Amino acid sequence: MSHVVLLGDSIFDNAAYVRGGPDVIHQLRELLPSGWRATLKAVDGSVTGSVKAQLHRLPPDASHLVLSVGGNDALGEAGILEQDADSVAEALTRLAAIREHFGRNYRAMLEQVLARGLPTAVCTIYDSHQPDARRHRLVVTALTLFNDCITREAFARGLPLLDLRLICGQPEDYANPIEPSVRGGAKIAAAIARLVREHDFSRHRSEVFLQPGNA
Residue 214 lies in a domain: no
Decide if 215 is inside a domain.
no
List the one residue out of 70, 63, 133 whose CA is nearest residue 102.
70
- Tens digit of each residue's pLDDT (9 = 90 or more) over 152-199: 999 999 999 999 999 999 999 999 999 999 999 999 999 999 999 999
pLDDT digits (tens, 9 = 90+) for 106-116: 999 999 999 99
**Is 90 within 8 Å of 96 (Cβ atoms)?**
no
Domain that holds residue 161: 3-209
CATH assignment of the domain containing 66: 3.40.50.1110
Whether 189 is in a domain gets the answer yes
Residue 91 confidence (pLDDT) = 87
In a domain, 55, yes or no: yes
pLDDT band, very low/low/confident/very high, at 81 (cuts 50, 70, 90) = confident
Number of domains in the chain: 1
Reported pTM: 0.94
Give the mean model confidence (pLDDT) for residues 27-49. 97
Q: Which residues pair with 68 in a beta bridge?
A: 8
Residue 44 resides in a domain = yes
